[in-house]
Amino acid sequence: MHTFAHGTAVWGVARPQGPGRVAGVAMAGFRVHDLDVLRMVPHPAVTLLLEFGPGAPVLDSATGDPQRGCLVAGPGLGSGGAVRVRGENVECVQVRLSPVIARAVLGVPPAELDGAVVPLEALWGREASRIRERLGETPSWQDRFALVDSLVARRYAAGPPVDAEVARAWRRITAGHGTVRIEEIAAEVGWSRKRLWSRFRSQVGLPPKRAASLVRFDHAAHRLVAGEGAARVAAETGYADQSHLHREFMAFTGATPAAVAREPFLAVDPIAWPGR
């Protein structure tokens, strides 16, 4: 387990030793004795939070009651800076699912999450409680990752895939870091723009243009975290100018680009999600 310190907070961070069985799945384990209020920065993945420690993390948002326990959220969790997480004695495995495989793993399309944080039990029933118990009984992080990997692989194999055209569109968006034009993608997959919008939205959870904006934002945010200047990042990641980047960061996070670059949610990424 690696140590990540940010201010007065110290986190333990664990990573799987090898790749998982299903492409598009990333995992990390976290142990935090005192998790101060942490802004959730939007990310272009479905987030699965499997907690099993003595103290559950608490997610607060402006749209509902605090959420505890094992949770799932669609891509873009935290948009507008409205979601915070806190807790004591937190232990959890966080799973990031590519939106094109999340439908099969979750059992419902990400669009049904409607941008909200949902208790995992609402989707998986008693299986959510069983996985929490098994994670708590498992002694090592690598064994926990193996347990989650097996669960995800089993559910993915049994679930419905997204349309091949939708998967291709998502790959084009991510490969271009969100800068590819949606009209070009529609032409490549042989669909009308309207059909692509409808099928992509229903299966991925976001309209194509919003998905591209989120991918672009994520790419730009990590370049800022790496120490690059805002003007250069804006010029090289598809923004019209630095003011455009500023407006989009405010819309996604409620914070300026400089503030986002200091967020611990992003600063831990080189440890938790290397090679992202």
Q: How far apart are the first and last CA of the chain?
A: 19
pLDDT at 276: 62
pLDDT band at 252 (very low <50, low <70, confident <90, very high): very high
Average pLDDT across the chain, whole number: 90
Could you give the percent of the chain with pLDDT greater than 90? Answer: 64
pLDDT band at 115 (very low <50, low <70, confident <90, very high): low
- CATH 2.60.120.10 domain residues, the chain: 2-160
**Selecting from 3.20.20.110, 3.40.50.1820, 1.10.10.60, 1.10.1740.10, what CATH number does the domain 164-264 have?**
1.10.10.60
Does the pLDDT value for residue 79 go beyond 90? no
**C-alpha distances out from residue 23 to 52, 75, 108, 156, 192, Å:** 25, 17, 19, 10, 28
Nearest to 253 by CA among 72, 83, 48, 71: 83
- CATH 1.10.10.60 domain residues, the chain: 164-264
pLDDT at 60: 83
Nearest to 119 by CA among 200, 64, 162: 64
SS (H, E, C) the chain: CEEEEECCEEEEEECCCCCCCCCCEEEEEEEEEEEEEEECCCCCCEEEEEECCCCCCEEEECCEEEEECCEEECCCCCHHHCEEEEEEEEEEEEEEECHHHHHHHHCCCHHHHCCCEEEHHHHHCHHHHHHHHHHHHCCCHHHHHHHHHHHHHHHHHHCCCCCHHHHHHHHHHHHCCCCCCHHHHHHHHCCCHHHHHHHHHHHHCCCHHHHHHHHHHHHHHHHHHCCCCHHHHHHHCCCCCHHHHHHHHHHHHCCCHHHHHCCHHHHCHHHHCCCC
pLDDT at 16: 95
**Statement: 2-160 belongs to CATH 2.60.120.10:** yes
pTM score of the predicted model: 0.91
pLDDT at 188: 94
pLDDT at 9: 75
243-266: average pLDDT: 92
pLDDT at 86: 82
191-220: average pLDDT: 94
pLDDT at 183: 94
- Residues 13-71 pLDDT 10s: 999 998 899 999 999 999 988 877 778 889 999 999 999 988 878 878 766 778 888 89
pLDDT band at 265 (very low <50, low <70, confident <90, very high): confident
